Copies of this chain bind each other. A is one copy, B any other.
Amino acid sequence: MEVIRKAQLAKEVLSQWQNLESSRKNQVLNRMADLLLANTDDILQANAQDVLAAKDRGISTALLDRLTLTATRVQDMAAGLKDVALLPDPVGQVISGTVRPNGLRIENIRVPLGLVAMIYEARPNVTADAAGLCLKAGNGVILRGGSEAINSNKQIVSLLRQALEEESLSPEILQIIEDTSREQVQKLLRLNEYIDVIIPRGGAGLIKTVIENATVPVIQTGEGVCHIFIDESANHQMTLDIVDNAKTQRPGVCNAVETLLVHQKIAPEILPLLKERLQTKGVKLIGCEQTKGIVPDVELASEQDWSTEYLDLILAVKVVNSLDEAIKHINYYGTQHSEAILTESYTNAQRFLKEVDAAAVYVNASTRFTDGSQFGLGAEIGISTQKLHARGPMGLVELTTNKFIVYGNGHSRG
């Protein structure tokens, strides 16, 4: 099977790659960037085939937009690789160290995770981004992108592998699964013998399939039913600006707001203002009964709306009686991604930060900041919404694990 064969090939050269000096890895990343730029035409030609086939099958405009590459997008991919080359290498960092009373010297250091498999959808830019981050952190990579982007992905990976060869390194450290059938993925998900971690990146359906079927450890990423709670004491102007930003600045991403919770005491004043502001941006509001009582001209929300990630210019609105109700709603319907409170109350801000269970919790700021570069971590491989290993934006450090190094001098345990 292709996945087994390719995992074996990557595993065989893993030790060589893991022990490479940082400067050599950076040379490879820079050469990869140069080759992508120098061969932009080939990439765009391969991508044009994918786009044509996708149009024939009639995929949605949003998907088509994600699939389509342009010269600028190729430049962005190359710039991304060069940025990763500039980031500090986490491998070998000493996390902690101590000498025990018996003289045993113990260091806990960062080492690569090993072989990382990325499963993603029709965005060919993820191919270069994921390869760059995983390789920089000393990992082998198996990429399994969506079938819609297969020609683009093969072309990109072929150039990235060429860079490895030109730097006199084995290209086998980077693999792409060309057979995008269900059988290959199912096998990949259970290849514990070779693969250390699987990172799925995409919609809720993909994530669910991976979690339900994988025996290899998984880092769950992405789905974001994010809330903003407008507390009684929220500043009006700040509220309008932040809600607008969180919903409209880039509605198709996971940290965009999907549900607004509004304290009943501020709802009569703020909801008409919000409706006016958001209407000018083309946002459709869906509201609870109480919301409709204040701004009648909105669609009535169903139970389903409270757990929907619209990824679109749609916003669900619910009037709540208290901070308690808001926290309860978020902890029940949320996906533990990014949650914000807008308030002037010190006590309510502190309670919200403490009691809301999510990767990122905000006071008086847009949820859109949950992002590796915005948080100052550099590029990110995804945003973890699970609690194991890493939570929130995952950068290079989150693509490593630890190892205890113990220096003895004939030590036996008494």
Interface residues of A (CB under 8 A from B): 15, 19, 98, 100, 104, 106, 108, 113-114, 192, 196-197, 211-212, 215, 217-220, 235, 238, 241-242, 244-246, 249, 331, 353-355, 357-366, 368-370, 374-376, 386-392, 401-413
Please name all residues of chain B whose beta carbon is closer than 8 Å to the beta carbon of A413 when the two chains form the complex: 245, 249, 366, 368-369, 374
Q: Are the C-beta atoms of A388 and B215 separated by less than 8 Å? A: no
With A192-B211, A375-B106 known as contacts, the answer to whether A368 contacts B412 (CB < 8 A) is: yes
Cα–Cα distance between A36 and B246 once the two chains are bound (Å) = 53
From B244, B363, B365, B411, contact of A365 by CB (8 A): B411
Q: Are the C-beta atoms of B98 and A376 separated by less than 8 Å? A: yes
11 A-B pairs within 8 Å (CB atoms) are namely: A197-B387, A217-B218, A217-B386, A249-B412, A359-B404, A361-B403, A362-B408, A364-B407, A364-B408, A365-B406, A392-B404
Cα–Cα distance between A365 and B389 once the two chains are bound (Å) = 29
Least distance between A50 CB and chain B CB atoms (Å): 31
Q: Are the C-beta atoms of A404 and B386 separated by less than 8 Å? A: no
Q: Are the C-beta atoms of A19 and B197 separated by less than 8 Å? A: no
Cα–Cα distance between A22 and B386 once the two chains are bound (Å) = 25
Cα–Cα distance between A375 and B96 once the two chains are bound (Å) = 11
Cα–Cα distance between A211 and B42 once the two chains are bound (Å) = 43
Please name all residues of chain B whose beta carbon is closer than 8 Å to the beta carbon of A354 when the two chains form the complex: 19
Q: Are the C-beta atoms of B388 and A357 separated by less than 8 Å? A: no
Please name all residues of chain B whose beta carbon is closer than 8 Å to the beta carbon of A405 when the two chains form the complex: 353, 360-361
Name the residue among A104, A249, A370 with the largest chain B CB count within 10 angstroms: A104
Q: Are the C-beta atoms of B245 and A387 separated by less than 8 Å? A: no
